[in-house]
Structure 1
Amino acid sequence: MNSCLVALAILFLVRVEEMAEACSCSPAHPQQAFCNSDVVIMAKVVGMQEVDGGNDVYGNTIKRIRYDVKQIKMFKGPTQDIDAIYTAPSSAVCGVTLDTNGNKEYLITGKMEAGMMHVTLCDFIEKWETLSAMQKKSLIQRYETSCDCRITRCTSIPCMISSPAECLWTDWVMEKTVNGEQAKHYACIKRNDDSCAWYRGSVPPRKDFLDIEDP
């Protein structure tokens, strides 16, 4: 009996580990999330329903969550408004949970697949009210015009860049969060010589650039 319980416990732990590993992605700076996305919108979520998402290789029906949204503004994406976004049914497979009462405004980044917007936990999805003034301003033009710049995340000291077109993102090692000063208040901007550097402000005078070596 005890051996059966031990076997079940081991099986349960293996299953939990598999589910935990099923959704894995590296955090991205908001600018990088913007540049890597097909669609970036500000929207309210006004409804939710479970829908069929086709079949897997074994013929089993794949379930998806459809969130009905009211688009407020599109920062990047197709010409037509987005009225729905799709995600997996649970966080174990990268599904996103959103408030559906229509009272909260979200910034949502995602991918277009077969004419539909899909989101996962790996996308940058934040309540609009929590975004900094710099992040909101950067959505209009600043992020997009510097997508040629690469943001390299520093996970442990020492860390360095390999190209002048990179910015070193040190929020994690400096503040133990990926939502630190650089994420909230800085953009990695391309300069006239094609190098990139952190910048904070509305108009990019040279003195407002932050040296890459000292983020």
Structure 2
Amino acid sequence: MARSVSSCFITLVVLFLWRVEDVAEACRCRIVHPQQAFCRADVVIRAKVDEVGAGSGNTKYDIQQIKMFKGPDRDINAVFTPTICRKFLETNKEYLLTGRLNTDGTMNIMMCDFSRTWEASSDTQLMRLIQRYQSGCDCKIIPCSSLSCPISSPDECLWTDWLSGNGLSGPQTQSFACLKRRDGSCAWYSMSAQPEK
């Protein structure tokens, strides 16, 4: 009997640790440039968080949608995020949010989706970048964190903010978009520069 209880306990511990590892893996994600997050998202909105609540396995943020940049032809009134690995949004703050549209019309944001407080940048800067992102979705952004980062095709831009140690606060992240040039290749352009026609 003791052996049976001991083996049952060991099995439970192994299953628990396996589940914890699964959750930890689900919480990890590859950091992407904001342009990639914009292009991959079903929904991109500017919204103010009014209230935070909990549901079955989800955190619900009641929001006021201020502007829809990408998504359905109706307002999103709530955003859901898994309680484990959730995005933390503060009430009474405005955000630029990217996420997935569910079949029931609700929006999900995950750990890997892009979110930024609206006050982190000027209105003009964010609006220009969003317009640029829309026109650069055919380009690929390749993160570069070591000195030898080859480009394998002309439609790629090397994201080198990581080389200087700036990461997500670097100039390519904050003020540039990867856009197509006249010859079909892609290159970085600041929000004020015009791409080649």
Q: TM-score range by the shorter chain?
A: 0.7 to 0.9
Structure 2: runs of 5 or more not aligned: 1-9
Aligned to 1:105: 94
Once the 2 structures are TM-superposed, how far is the Cα of residue 15 of structure 1 from its aligned partner? 7.1
What RMSD over aligned residues (CA atoms) do the two structures have, in Å? 2.3
CA contact (8 A) 2:128 2:191 kept: no
Structure 1: any 5+ residue segments left out of the alignment? 1-6, 53-62, 207-215
Q: How many angstroms does 1:187 deviate by?
A: 0.7
Q: Map 1:51-200 onto structure 2 (within 5 A).
A: 51-52=55-56, 63-91=57-85, 95-100=86-91, 102=92, 104-114=93-103, 115-131=105-121, 134-139=125-130, 141-200=131-190
Q: Aligned letter for 1:32?
A: Q
Q: CA deviation at 1:157?
A: 2.2
Counterpart for residue 212 of structure 1: none
* Alpha-carbon shift at residue 50 of structure 1 (Å): 1.6
Within the candidate set 24, 32, 39, 1:35 is matched to 39
What is the aligned residue count?
183
Alignment match, 1:55:
none
Structure 1 pair 25–47 and aligned structure 2 pair: CA distance change class (3 A): same
Q: CA deviation at 1:90?
A: 2.6
What whole-Å deviation, never above 9, does each CA across 1:110-140 have from its counterpart, x for those lacking one? Answer: 001122100011000110111365443121x
**Cα distance in structure 1, aligned partners of 2:182 and 2:125:** 22
- The 8 Å contact of residues 134 and 200 in structure 1, kept in 2 or not, is answered as no
TM (norm. structure 1) is 0.77
Counting aligned pairs with the same residue, the percent is 49
Three-state SS of the structure 2 residue aligned to 1:98 is coil
Q: Secondary structure at the residue paired with 1:171?
A: coil
> Residue deviations 1:150-194, cap 9 Å, x none?
101113221111111110001112224233111011110111111
